[in-house]
Amino acid sequence: MAESLRGGTGPIGQERICVSAILELVGVSRVYRQGTIEVVALQDVSLSVEPGELVAVMGPSGSGKSTLLNVAGGLDRPSSGEVFVDGTELSSLSVGGLAVIRRSSVGYVFQELNLVGNLTAAENVALPLELGGVSARKSKVLALETLALVGMADGLPASPISCQEANSSGWLSPGPWSGHDG
């Protein structure tokens, strides 16, 4: 049983690791079934991530990294155990509730280029903000500021396809959101 740092008990009888964690998994298992075959992707995983903490998930192919991230972010449900994001236990949430948590509290950087192909880089960054209720104008400003933080303010690619075609000398044409014009 995990030692409790700040008290609190999960309903499955295991101690919560830390109730102030932004992400917590308590006794999480994920088993995939296909007919009579069972594949255990995660077995009794407990994890606590504090605000500001950086976590790297590493391991060989097939070790459960993607399953762990999918369960932690509410994209998949555990077979057993509990997942808390910002103190909210995910199993009780509807599909819509999970979408709200993902928009507001969970961020992913995918290995693949999971961008909307006909939008610019700035529009792709602004899209989840707008879906979360931020005005289009404010989303645009925040997207451009965020891209500037990662060195993409000067010469944004016209589209995700342009990102793939960009050569080592820098980005291609800036596209429609090259400045704070409105």
Residue type, 129: L
| Nearest residue to 46 via CA among 91, 12, 76 | 12
Residue type, 95: V
Give the rounded percent of residues in the chain with a pLDDT score beyond 90: 37
Average pLDDT in the chain: 77
pLDDT at 161 over 60: no
Range picked from 64-68, 110-114, 165-169 for highest mean pLDDT: 64-68
Domain(s) of CATH 3.40.50.300: residues in the chain: 23-105
Please tell me what DSSP assigns to residue 151: T
Q: Which CATH number fits domain 23-105: 3.40.50.300, 3.90.110.10, 3.40.50.1100, 3.40.50.720?
A: 3.40.50.300
- The radius of gyration of the chain from alpha carbons, rounded to an integer in Å, stands at 20
47-51, 93-97, 119-123: range with lowest mean pLDDT: 119-123
Report d(CA 21, CA 24) in Å as an integer.
6
Range picked from 7-16, 55-64, 99-108, 154-163 for highest mean pLDDT: 55-64
More confident residue, 182 or 126: 126
pLDDT at 6 over 50: no
More confident residue, 83 or 162: 83
pLDDT value for 29: 97
Per-residue pLDDT tens over the stretch 24-43: 999 999 999 989 999 999 99
pLDDT at 7 over 60: no
Tell me what the mean pLDDT of segment 157-182 comes to.
43
pTM of the model: 0.61
Can you read off the two tokens belonging to residue 10? Answer: 């999960």
pLDDT value for 177: 42
